[in-house]
Structure 1
Amino acid sequence: MTKAPTRLAEEVREQVKDRTSYYGVIDRLNKASVDKHWEAYADIPWDDPEYAIDPEDPRWILTDEDHLGRTEWYRSQPPEVQARIGLWRVATAMKIGLQFENLLKRGLLNYAYWLPNGRPEFRYVYHETTEECHHGMMFQEFVNRTGLPIRGMPRALTALAQVVPWIPLVSTELFFVFVLGGEDPIDYKQRQLLKGGHVKHPLEEAIIRIHVAEEARHISFARHYLKHRVPSLSRPKRQMIALLSPLILGRMARIMLSPPGPMVRHFGIPRDVVRAAYRGGDHRDDLSDSVGKVRDLLAELGLVTPVGKRLWKLMGVWDEPGVRRGQAAGRPAPGAASPDERAAR
């Protein structure tokens, strides 16, 4: 029996002390990608009637887990409107996810282009790129089947984001901070949804379980790459990462967890409702917690400086290392089946 990717990710979180142990981690991640992976159009029964998307299906109605779902305004809407808003939220998260992964894939391939022969990172990067391609196909197919005019990232941000694939040519370490900035918040939120039983529709659940299982490997690689590389960086490069990381992570968390403007305008959600739902203390805690693991890693690597700490606070995503102010980060209960095991059923 092969190790589940999520259990593997837990197993390989030890400190990377030397090149041999770092390469050992990559070997295990490579093996896991071969042993357990999914394909967008082979492992999801898109045409099963149970997986059909009805925009007015009550299973899309937001629960109390979503800050908008807690508001009196939302609860006062007709059930069909509540369902459409909930579906819009899910579809937007998937659209933003595939847009981020598009940038990620291009950056990974830029990184791999310059790797010398024999480096094990090359094979892992291609495994990850292949998996991200299937994630993008899953997400876009879901968005297409909703029939909603989902845009994803704001246009101005999309234009700015086109510099991301070129970051590896300047600093691969900063690029992998960006990777974690996109992957950790959505992983945090999806694990919360699964753990709390908030995902009601089987198609959404199947996509999320596959995504969580494979993202465990991607997050593990990025973390270990930083652990391996950062200690040998020059002081100027470390200072650059320390200053840019909170800006990247704060912005990425908001993109992933905040309500999309087109949805707010389409449904005429009052500004005071949006402010109450997404600018209160609970939402700030969610933002901070969603990047908590990355923040802890950067602190461990000495990349949280006094000036950088002020930037973390300015971006609203600071807390002391190891502290989680909001909800628990959706880890499976002891003895529970891992997400990838459940997805395979």
Structure 2
Amino acid sequence: MTALTEDGTPRDALGPLKDREGVARRLLEASAKHSFDPDAELDWNAPFDPDKWFWPPELVSLYDTPLWRRMPQEQRMDLARHEAASLASLGVWFEIILMQLLVRHIYDKPLTSAHVRYALTEIADECRHSMMFARLIRRGGAPAYPVTRLHHNVGRVMKAVSTTPGSFACTLLGEEILDWMQRLTFPDERVQPLVRGVTRIHVIEESRHVRYAREELRRQMVTAPRWERNLTRVTSGQAARIFSVAFVNPQVYTDVGLDRAEALAQVRASAHRRDVMQSGARRLTDFLDDIGVLQGVGRRMWRSSGLLA
């Protein structure tokens, strides 16, 4: 008979916990070999190619909608440029939240441990990523697109009061969907070389961040008290709903000369867009399901976000 946790999660599904210090040491070794200085690594002064995209067209929110089919190519490419700026803006917002969550996580951990040392290494990575994304926005010529005041203040509360498992669940939500999209972007020769370079750096360094967060969340879903695991299920579902709405700032449609209401309606109705978002989230939702996060009301919230089929 399969042993269960007190809230019904099969213990075998959680898998054996890896040694926390061993994981951190391996991540530190990888960081020493594969870390980048974007200011030195990328050619920020190279001119943009007018025939290349700032984001793969298939990942643009309106792709394959009736509105997209009516848009001239120049307007489609302009929308891709603005959506790239919107995603980079979302990335900076998220990275700043993540840095505070990591600082809170290690505040009461042994200061000489590899686990803490790697968290500090990741914070340094995230500082560089935030500056890299901000520089990309400015270089691309589109405006920055902050999240709404409501979402900004929700983030303010979350980064101040989130539990440890809730923090790592939200970390993975912010990292893995964008990572999936960026893995499609950096090898795509249709895309601007600078954008490809930015996404390549981010993918390489974020792979370590995902490993760190996954191992810690798996540990928390075994060791945290029942109330904290249940709270994680609900807060991760709410975070998924916010993230799916905030993913592209609707101001981008206005800024490229589209009717915002029509564009939003077509994005919501787009089967292609729904498939893109669910494909981007699938690796994450499979993992969260395996470790018992996608249960009860939290699972229903994930479904309502559109990220879970």
Please classify the TM superposition score into its range, dividing by the shorter chain length. 0.7 to 0.9
CA distance in structure 2 between the partners assigned to 1:151 and 1:67 by the alignment: 15
Structure 1 residue aligned with 2:182: 190
Provide the rounded CA distance (Å) in 1 between the counterparts of 2:189 and 2:149.
30
Q: Corresponding residue for 1:297?
A: 287
Change (3 A) 1:134 1:199: farther
Q: Secondary structure at the match of 1:59?
A: coil
Counterpart Cα distance in 2 of 1:77 and 1:304: 39
- Aligned counterparts of 2:83 and 2:95: Cα–Cα separation in 1: 18
Residue by residue over 1:1-52, the C-alpha shift from the partner in whole angstroms, topping out at 9 and shown as x without a partner, is xxxxxxxxxxxxxx76346x332111101111111100121111212x3xx3
Does the 8 Å contact 2:175/2:206 carry over to 1? yes
Q: Distance in 2 between matches of 1:241 and 1:254?
A: 20
Cα distance in 1 for partners of 2:22, 2:189 equals 37
RMSD (CA atoms): 2.4
TM-score calculated relative to the size of structure 2: 0.86
Going from structure 1 to structure 2, the CA distance change for 1:163 and 1:199 (only over 3 Å counts) comes to farther
User: What corresponds to 2:203 in structure 1?
Assistant: 212
Separation of aligned partners in 2, 1:278 and 1:199: 26
Residue 265 of structure 1, CA deviation: 1.8
- Deviations for 1:238-280, whole angstroms, at most 9, x for unmatched residues? 1111222222123223423xx3221112233233343223432
Q: Secondary structure at the match of 1:41?
A: helix
Q: Compared with structure 1, are the counterparts of its residues 146 and 312 closer, same or farther at alpha carbon in structure 2 (3 Å cutoff)?
A: closer
Output the CA distance in 2 between the equivalents of 1:248 and 1:199: 33
Matches of 2:138 and 2:217, distance apart in 1: 36
Displacement after TM superposition at 1:130 (Å): 0.7
Greater relative contact order (Cα 8 A, min sep 6): structure 1 or 2? 2
After TM superposition, the score normalised by the length of structure 1 is 0.78
Kindly, what percent of the aligned residue pairs are identical?
A: 24
**Structure 1 CA distance for aligned equivalents of residues 270 and 78 of structure 2:** 24
Compared CA separation, residues 318 and 77, structure 1 to 2 (3 A): closer
What letter is aligned with 2:281?
V
Q: Offset of 1:58 from its aligned partner?
A: 2.8
Structure 2: state its 5+ residue gaps.
1-13
Render the CA deviation track for 1:193-239: whole Å, top value 9, x for unaligned.
Answer: 346x2652100000000101110000010000111222112211111
Query: Could you report, residue by residue, the CA deviation over 1:166-193 in whole angstroms, capped at 9, with x for unpaired residues?
Result: 235xx11110111011111111111233
Contact 1:29 1:124 in 2 (8 A): yes
Gaps in structure 1 of 5+ consecutive residues: 1-14, 320-345
Q: Does structure 2 conserve the Cα–Cα contact (< 8 Å) formed by 1:254 and 1:287?
A: no
What are the residue-to-residue correspondences of 1:139-218 with 2, within 5 Å?
A: 139-168=133-162, 171-194=163-186, 197=188, 199-218=190-209
CA contact (8 A) 1:185 1:253 kept: no
Q: Within 1, Cα distance between the matches of 2:146 and 2:269? A: 21
- Residue 88 of structure 2 aligns to which amino acid in structure 1? M
For 1:125 and 1:312, the matched residues in 2 are separated by 28
- Between the aligned partners of 1:308 and 1:160, the Cα distance in structure 2 is 18
Aligned length: 295
Matched, 1:240 2:231: yes
Q: 2:306 matched to 1:313?
A: no
